[in-house]
Amino acid sequence: MIRWAFLGAGSMAGAMVQGLITRRVAGPQYISCISGSGRTAEALARATGIQIAPSLAALVEGCDVLIVACKPQQLASLDPSLARLTAGKLVVSVLAGKRLGTLARYFPQTRALVRVMPNTPAQIGAGISGWCASTALSEEDRATLLALLHALGKEVEVREHDMDALTAVAGSGPAYVFEFVAALREAGIKAGLAPDTAGLLVQETVLGAAKLLAHTGATPDSLRDRVTSPNGTTAAALKVFGERDLRGMVAAAVTAAVRRSNELSADS
């Protein structure tokens, strides 16, 4: 049985642990963690039944896979002994903005080093994770990695060059959706709906539209057209989107996010 270790016990580590247990990839007895302050590790252990490692050496030496899930700014202050302890291990990093070249300086002797960018719906098993590896993974390591990522939702392998764009689209994407939901809810309230009613209508509309998109496999443009009758209510609304250049605004927002992701990666 594979033994999993988490360096860090925050929200993303918690999502991964819950996914591994819920999907029956691993039992709590095969998962351990450690955190800087110890408080988050204690909370995660209480919530899931996993083990708290007594030391960093015990955490790493007893695992097959190490998931680095501390805060990105903590990477530089990690114990230098990790370079030795992770020799021959599969190491998976979920540190935003930390490139493989940077990670390799801290984990130079791994058998495989993987960089992953999940998004927040991973907390309920509905995420999409992009990933890239420093070298071609063995069949065994690929299967292990995919078992982890499928516990969070879906996954896609990309070139590291594409990680900034992936971060801007998928990593930050839930925030864009939440912002649109908030705007549509406010518009509904201004149009006369009660706040609770507006919230329910928008939530279920967005959820249903996403499910329809996934279920049909049709393009968003074709599904939009199916809703839009000539000179109807939808056409009137879409005309405003076109006049205000909604797509241009979204493209500019993603470009800004890509630029910032690239800056953060370069700083690392």
pLDDT digits (tens, 9 = 90+) for 2-26: 999 999 999 999 999 999 999 999 9
Q: What is the pLDDT of residue 267?
A: 63
Nearest of 116, 93, 119, 118 to residue 104 by alpha carbon:
93
CATH 3.40.50.720 domain residues, the chain: 4-159
Return the CATH fold of 171-267.
Answer: ProC C-terminal domain-like fold (1.10.3730)
Nearest of 38, 1, 36, 41 to residue 17 by alpha carbon:
41
User: Alpha-carbon torsion 22, 26, 27, 30, what sign?
Assistant: negative
Q: What is the pLDDT of residue 63?
A: 96
pTM of the model: 0.90
Residue 266 has pLDDT above 80, yes or no: no
Q: What is the pLDDT of residue 163?
A: 95
Beta pairing partners, 92: 67, 114
Q: Which CATH class is domain 4-159?
A: alpha beta
CATH 1.10.3730.10 domain residues, the chain: 171-267
User: Alpha-carbon torsion 11, 184, 260, 115, what sign?
Assistant: positive
Contact by Cβ (8 Å): 114, 133: yes
What is the DSSP secondary-structure string of 109-155?
T-SEEEEEE--GGGGGT-EEEEEEESSPPPHHHHHHHHHHHHTTEEE
Given the structure tokens 């130079």, which residue do they identify?
108
- For residues 38-54, give the mean pLDDT: 94
d(Cα 241, Cα 246) in Å, to the nearest integer?
A: 5
Nearest of 78, 97, 13 to residue 50 by alpha carbon:
13
Beta pairing partners, 116: 131
Least confident of 8-12, 35-39, 223-227, 259-263: 35-39
